[in-house]
Structure formats: structure tokens, C-alpha cells
Amino acid sequence: APTIQRTDYAPLAWTVRRIDLHFALDPQATVVTSRLACARNPEAAPGPLLLDGEALETLSLTIGGLDPAPGAVRRGETRIEIDVEGDEVELEIVTRINPQANTTLSGLYRSRGGYFTQCEAEGFRRITWFPDRPDVMARFSVTLEGDKAVCPVLLSNGNLVEEGDLPDGRHYARWEDPFPKPSYLFALVAADLVALERRELTASGREVLLQVWVERGNLDRCEHAMESLVHAMRWDEETFGLELDLDRFMIVAVSDFNMGAMENKGLNIFNAKYVLAKPDTATDVDYEHIESVVAHEYFHNWTGNRVTCRDWFQLTLKEGLTVFRDQQFSADMLARAAGAEGDSARAVKRIDDVRVLRAAQFPEDAGPMAHPIRPERYQEINNFYTATVYEKGAEVIRMLHTLLGPEGFRNGMDLYFSYHDGQAVTCDDFVEAMSEANGRDLDQFMRWYAQAGTPRVAARGGWDAADGSYTLTLTQHTPPTPGQTEKLPLVIPVAVGLIGPDGADLPLQLEGEAAPGATTRVLELNAESRQWRFVGLSAEPVPSLLRGFSAPVILELEEDDARLAFRMANDSDAFNRWDAAQRYAERVLLELGAAAAEGRALGVPVAFVEAFARLLRDDRLDPAFRAQALALPGEGYLLERMQPADPAALRTAQIYLGAELGRVLAADWLALTEGLVEPGEYRYHPADAGRRALINLALRYLCAARVPAGTGLARRRFESASNMTDRFGALAALVHGALPEAEGALAAFYERYRDDALVLDKWFALQAGAWRRDAGATPVLERVRALLGDPGFSLSNPNKVYALLGSFFRANPGEFHLADGSGYAFWADQVIALDAANPQVAARMARALENWRRFTPVLREAVRPQLERVRAAEGLSPDVGEIVAKALE
């Protein structure tokens, strides 16, 4: 596939002002009639009118109502070029498409009897011929016509302006979207659905209709999504002064969907997983995700829809910013619910976000797919909806927020909207608005948009007892990434505190300042190396750096075990307190891993157990925070830090450490489960969720150690649970502990939920991610292979694939990376099979092996032939092709 370069951007010679679409819906022969009012773009170089198309059967094309003049139209497989005289023209194009046969879930497709669309990034061209790029913004009018029995509900963007019955049991509806939009925001839904409805007033007093559309029978699972939507509306009004601009806002749940959800104007289409929740089927984490995804899509209405991207290289303009907005929203929601514990609740959210960044984005930035948050080139844009564009992109926005302060940031946002509302713009436009609103030069900051790779910040401290000063030296370095060897110094905000010997924060006074001030301040590291001298100190301080994770970097700071234990006990910054525990655990796990790899005896340092136990016993700490601090670092992150990555040895280390912490501290874990006030009847509330999470973590450790009192507790909780969080937490503890009770519990769970697809996904994921503790036990690979044949499984449903195969390939390295290569052969078979039907899903699975060069020589040798086999597969999609080619480069 050809490579597209960011710097090749040029505006189109022709744009579209209006589009009138008519859909005659039919399972295998939907006829789409499109009338386009096109106009010459005065800012572009003259040229033909260009239309994109894919998998379309073209029935007719007329220009100004006439058949085209000979030679005026050049037709290619995916491109039509039309020579036009004058400055305006009307086209009418009729195409026929087959939604039933569309297994890619891009364009118009079917799911459980209904019709749904997904157009971002380039799905609209699979519906009709159109200049399918985000800088073409048109006003849409859409008429849907279909069988009333099959699809009684007909939805599209904007406002419903007309509906009625037609002969032969058919009916129609016409929708008009008052806002011009790019084609990627078009959507239609035609299905047998019901809605939960609510009317709300916006801040300016306009009444709006909110709807959550689901399949009949799921109406009792929509309340939380609706609540989340209302909260998101209010938050955007209060925080950014942004109001809903339509009279109607719809969310639709669909079972077959490639990703999480899609922000189509006024008609957000969601993976059902991020809509449906009731206590018996959804966990606290599901409730949290629903809240944040509903908010994310809603926030896109301003950051993405009203102001959109000029081209797909600018994707982080809308995604990084919108992820930052949803993170802030969730933190505010948690803090509000937590009341006096608000700061701790915010830190817990920050920890979650950083866990995701470290587990997914850091490895991406260190592998063959490494790219800046604004990529320079791509082959398949769908491969660039990445953790870098989204999560690192959000970190970049967060740094702006830190550097400019909340008010400065808000002023920048206001200016951005005042300049660019209704436009398709670039990341430069955004940063320029921030710069202008704050009178601050952000040229150097723009390097965050251009450089790939995770920067290292090395910190050195020098204590001068004679004059009571502490000199902090920070040095930055970004390792080379593919195609980018030279890296320039970035602007890195480093939030710093100094802790006194008694554990309390010291007021900070920099050399030259009159008096000490705040206990945390943000230093700007904007050169390769810089120094700061803190004065007026009576004893050597312990530095606490990068508080709140103020920049997406790897902090290199020499700290001995005692110092990590000290910060674990005392750091006033909850994020850093957690991070100290993670660093200490990482050190212990990597040492255990090395010992396991070399066949040495394993042992846990007593000092670590003591530091860990102090957190476990500290019941003044918020349970949600304790659950975070007592959970060991993730496998993906650890493998990234292990040289060479040896998943089997690391797994041995993890099993050993978990069991030891369970065994040695068994009495504490049991006391904790008894001492915690058990939440009463289930409600989704952060305080309750924190207690449930901590109890479930205790069960994990107790079952890992096979402490009888603990395993009995897990079994009883599994049987008598009143909600999914407790039930699944207990089940997971039994399964990961590989206890004899696990099989029976899995079977009982299956019986109870066999007809509930979303719950079955949890059941598949748990087994695919299971840890094996006994040499004789069935390998997880065998179990996954068998589960492919389960009646509840389907390779054509993305959620099922992510649950079973995604969990195995990505979340279970200890079982997937088998020295005999059987895991890799299975991976190649599945990637090839998936690719034939759904390239986007296949490409996601393909990425599981991209960092293979970091693995042990034995594993590397086993991976290569499988990567090569996939690369050579017949009819390979550009999606998977790009991934494996980069992996093999």
C-alpha cells in the first residue's frame, strides 16, 4: 500500500456544500442515491472534482441532470475524477451496496437484524462516492426508507423533519443536520430498538431531548449511560462554557462494533459494552468505563465535530484533547462523590490513566510502530488510532494545562473556538490559540507533536550540609526511534517536592527568592540539562519528583530500598506514594525474574514485605488508593523494563511474589476483608467501589497463596454475591489461584449467564488471561483453542475476539510466549483468518507481537517465521500488512 505523507497535504479543488442522501434499505441490495451540490474551492489550485469510493456498484452518475460529456469522467477502482467547467455543479450518483456481506464493520453493515454505520476514518466511501476527507464539510439531509417490521426505528444525524408510511410495509424518515460536517461524522441506524428518554434544559434554557437506544429487553440497563450523559453535559457547560447545540442527542448501542464508540453528530453509536449496565451484569470498572466513554463521545461534539481535523495526521487534535477532557471529567466526578477524600479520589484516577499509558503507550513508543502524537506518515490510517495519539496526546494537553494553569488553559480554549468554530484545522492552530491567549511562546513545546519515543529524565541531587542547600540537576534524553535518530530537548514540566526527615513536605525556596513558598512547584526542564538550588534547609531532603506524573517521561532517579520505603510511607503526593510502591515492587519482581531465568533460588526481601504491609495495614488510607498501591505493576510494563524480555521467567516471579505476599500477610488480608465496612445494597459509588476493589484484591492474594480461610471466603462470595463486581472478583481469584474450585465456578457462571453476550466476554477473557501454577495443568493455549468452538464464541464479533484472543495475546504473555512457538503459530492462524473478514480487528491482534525483538533469542527465533507467514498470506489487507512489515523491518 502507498505511504501517505503529512507534508503532502493540499486542499481539494472542489468541495461539497450540500448532500442529499436517500437510502432504500435492503439486506443485500441497498440503493443509495446521493445528490451533491459541489463548488470550486477558491483557495485551492484548479483541478478536477475528485470522489473516493470502495466496494461500490455504481448504477448511474449524472452531472447537472445530464449524462456526462464523453471524456469528462475518469473512473478508477477507488477514485472518480470529473472535469467540470464553471464554479458550481450538481451531481447525482446512484450506488448499490451489500450491507449483509459487509464483515469489515466499516461503512454500512448489519448487526442482529439492524443496519448500522461506522464512517471514521474512511467508511463513508464504502457507502457512496464522495470526497471522503475531513476538510470537506457539507450540510447533510438524509432520507431512510426500509421495511417497517425489520427496522421500525430510522435514525440519522440532526433533527427529524418528516416521517411516514409507504406501500408494501415500508416506511421512511427524513433527517436534517443543521451543522456542516465531514463525511466521517455521518451515521444512520435502522433497527428494532427502544429508547430511554429524558428532557433536559441546557445552561441557556433550551430544552433538549436525550435518548439511549437499545434492543428490546435491555431498557433496564440504560440508566447509568443516561446519567453519565447528563453529567457530561453539565460538566462541559460549567468547565468550558460549552453547550449542546442540537435539539436532540442520541446514543445507540450495537453488539458488533470495531472499537469503543463513535461521536457521529447527534447520533453517537456505541459498542453495547459501553452503554449497558445493571448491577447483576456489570462491574464497577464497567460502570466507570461507561461514564468516561459516554462523556468522551459527548465532548467530541465540540472538540472534534464543531472544530474538526483538517487531515488525519491531526487526529490527536481531537483525540488527545478529548481524552484529556474525559480524564478531567472523571476525576471531577470521583472527587465530587468522595467529598473530603477528593484528592485521593483524583489520584486514584490519575494512577489508572498512568497505568494505561505505561502498559500500552510506552511499549508502542519503544517499538517499530513508534510515532509522534502527530504522525508524519501512514499506510493505513486505522492503524493510527493508537495509545500514542490518544493517551500520550492527552498527556501533551495535560502539560499545557499544567504550564498555563487552569485559567490560562480555559482562555486558550475560548480563543480556539472563537477562531475555529466550524472549521477543519491543525494541531498548530490549537497550540497557537493557547500561545496567543497566554502571551507565551510555545514553539519549543510543539516538539512534543513531532518527536516519537518516551523521554528519559535523569535526576541527581546534591546536598550541601554547610549551607543547607540542595541542588537538583535534571537531564533529558529521548532515545532514537525508527526513522528519527536526532531528538531535540523538549519542554518538560516537572512537579517537585522535598520531603523532610520527619516525612513532612518542606516549603520550597529557590536560590534568589525572598522567602519559602509552596511545597510543590513545577520546574520547567527546557534544555538538555538544568539545575535548581533550593536553600534554607535544615536537613537533607528526600526529593519527590514528577508529582502527579506531570509529564509522560521515564524518571531515572537512583533511590535505595530504604528511600523507596520512606516515600511509600510518607510522600504527600498520593500519585508518587503509589509510584514509590510500584518502583519498589518492580525492582523486586525484576530481580526475581532474573533469578528465575538463571535457575537461582527465589526469595522476597523482608524490607519490601514490611513496607508493603505498612500500606496494607494503614486503614486511614482510602480503600481505592490502597487497592492501587497493593496491586503489583502490570506485566506489559515490566516486560518492557526486562532485558531481554522473558515472559516465562517474569511469570514465575509474579506467581512467587503474589503467593508470598498472600502467605506471609495472610492474617492481614483476612483481617482486612473482615474489618472493611461492606457496602450495602449495590450502587455504583466510588467509595463502595474502592472497598469492593480492595476486598477482591485481598481474595487474589489469599487464593494465590491458597490460604484455606481465603479460598473458602472466595467461594462463598462467589456463590452469594449480589452484584457482578463481587461475583467476578471472587471468580477471578479462584481462577488465577488455579484452585480446584475454579472449574466448577466457571461452569456455574456460564450456566447463569449463557445468554448474556457481554457477561460471557468476561468469562472468555478470564480463562484466556489465566495464570497456570502447576506444571501438569492444561496450557492456556489449549483452553483458548477449545473455547473458539464454544457456542457463545464468534470470530465475527469484535468483542468476542478481543475477550478471548486479545486477552490471550496481549494480557497473558506468560502463557502466550511458549518456547516451542505453538502460541505464535496459533496467533498467525488467527490473524490470517480474521484478516479475511475484518482487517481492523485483525490488525489489532497482529500488533501483539510487534515488540518481538526485545524477547529472548529462543522466542525471537520462534516468532520470526510466523511473522513472515502472515506477511506472505494471500490477499493480506493493508492494515495487517503495515503492522507486520514494520515488525520485520
Bridge partners of residue 143, in order along the sequence? 22, 174
Contact characters 451-490, ligand B3K, x per CB under 6 A: ----------------------------------------
Q: Which amino acid is at 397?
A: I
Could you tell me the three cell numbers for 238?
Answer: 460549567
Question: Of 174 and 296, which CB lies nearer to ligand B3K in the complex structure?
Answer: 296
Q: Which residue, 294 or 474, has its beta carbon nearer to ligand B3K?
A: 294
319 counts as binding ligand B3K under rule CB under 6 A: yes
Q: Which residue has the cell 448501542?
A: 253
Per the structure block, which three cell numbers stand in for 690? 474502592
Q: Specify the stretch interacting with Zn ion by CB under 5 A; choose among 34-42, 287-295, 312-320, 490-498.
A: 312-320
Half-sphere exposure of 624 (CA within 13 A, CB side): 26
Measured from the CB atom, the residue of 124 and 445 that comes closer to ligand B3K is 124
Question: Which of 393/679 has CB closer to ligand B3K?
Answer: 393
Exposed (0-12), middle (13-18) or buried (19+): which is 601, by Cβ within 10 Å?
exposed
Query: According to the binding rule CB under 6 A, does residue 259 interact with ligand B3K?
Result: yes
Q: Which stretch binds Zn ion (CB under 5 A): 267-275, 321-329, 634-642, 713-721?
A: 321-329
CB 887 within 8 A of CB 850: yes
Q: How far is the CB of 304 from Zn ion (least distance, A)?
A: 7
- Candidates 56, 51, 53, 85; CA nearest to 68 is 85
| 392 forms part of the interface with ligand B3K (CB under 6 A) | no
Cβ 350 to ligand B3K, closest distance in Å? 21
Contacts 24+ apart (CB under 8 A), 577-586: 577/629, 578/347, 578/351, 578/625, 578/628, 578/629, 579/549, 581/611, 581/612, 581/615, 581/629, 581/630, 582/633, 583/559, 584/608, 584/611, 585/612, 585/632, 585/633, 585/657, 586/633, 586/637, 586/638, 586/641
Other beta carbons within 10 angstroms of residue 504's beta carbon come to: 10
- Backbone phi, psi, residue 167, to 5°: -60, 165
**Which residue, 324 or 763, has its beta carbon nearer to Zn ion?**
324
- Measured from the CB atom, the residue of 117 and 856 that comes closer to Zn ion is 117
Q: Cα torsion at 571, 572, 576, 582 (round to 10°)?
A: 50
120, 646, 879, 882: which one contacts ligand B3K (CB under 6 A)?
Answer: 120
Marked catalytic residue, from 145, 215, 297, 364: 297
Contact 434, 407 (CB under 8 A): no
Q: Nearer to ligand B3K by C-beta: 218 or 301?
A: 301
Q: Helix (H, G, I), strand (E, B), or coil: what is residue 163?
A: strand
* Total Cβ atoms within 10 A of residue 681: 8
| Min CB(106)–ligand B3K separation in Å | 8
Rg, C-alpha atoms of the chain: 28
Q: How far apart are CA 564 and CA 580, in angstroms?
A: 5
- Residues in binding contact with ligand B3K, number by CB under 6 A: 12
Query: Cell for 275?
Result: 452503554
Q: How far is the CB of 146 from ligand B3K (least distance, A)?
A: 25
Q: Which of 296, 762, 772, 800 contacts ligand B3K by CB under 6 A?
A: 296
Give which of ligand B3K, Zn ion, none residue 120 binds (C-beta under 5 to 8 Å, depending on kind): ligand B3K
Closest by CA to 761, choosing from 296, 289, 229, 115, is 289
Stretch that binds ligand B3K, among 292-300, 474-482, 816-824, 871-879 (CB under 6 A): 292-300
Phi, psi of 265 (to 5 degrees): -55, 115
Work out whether 795 is an interface residue with ligand B3K (CB under 6 A). no
263 counts as binding ligand B3K under rule CB under 6 A: yes
CA-CA distances (angstroms) from residue 660 to 377, 654, 665, 787? 48, 10, 8, 32
Check binding of 382 to ligand B3K (CB under 6 A). Answer: yes
**Residue number, 49 or 121, with CB nearest to ligand B3K:** 121
Alpha carbon distances (Å) from 215 to 45, 111, 879: 49, 11, 32
| Cβ 310 to Zn ion shortest distance, Å | 17
Which among Zn ion, ligand B3K, none contacts residue 550 (Cβ within 5 to 8 A by kind)? Answer: none
Q: How far is the CB of 880 from ligand B3K (least distance, A)?
A: 14
Whether 297 sits among the annotated catalytic residues: the reply is yes
302 touches ligand B3K (CB under 6 A): no
Residue nearest to ligand B3K (CB): 120
- Mark residues 184-223: x for contact with ligand B3K by CB under 6 A, - for none: ----------------------------------------
CA-to-CA distance for 585 and 615, rounded, in angstroms? Answer: 13
H or E stretch covering 475 = strand 469-477
Among 297, 341, 571, 835, binds ligand B3K (CB under 6 A): 297
Smaller CB separation from ligand B3K, 424 or 714: 424
Q: Return the one option of Zn ion, ligand B3K, none that residue 362 interacts with (CB less than 5 to 8 A, by type).
A: none
SS3 of 107, please?
Answer: strand
385 binds, among Zn ion, ligand B3K, none (CB under 5 to 8 A by kind): ligand B3K
| Least distance (Å) between residue 84 CB and Zn ion | 36
Stretch that binds ligand B3K, among 258-266, 410-418, 454-462, 481-489 (CB under 6 A): 258-266
Which residue, 273 or 296, is less far from ligand B3K as judged by CB? 296
Helix, strand and coil content of the chain, in percent to the nearest 5, comes to 45, 20, 35
Among the residue ranges 163-171, 296-304, 328-336, 726-734, the one whose residues contact ligand B3K (CB under 6 A): 296-304
Residues catalogued as catalytic:
297
Chain positions contacting ligand B3K, by CB under 6 A: 120-121, 259, 261-263, 296-297, 300, 319, 382, 385
Chain positions contacting Zn ion, by CB under 5 A: 319, 322
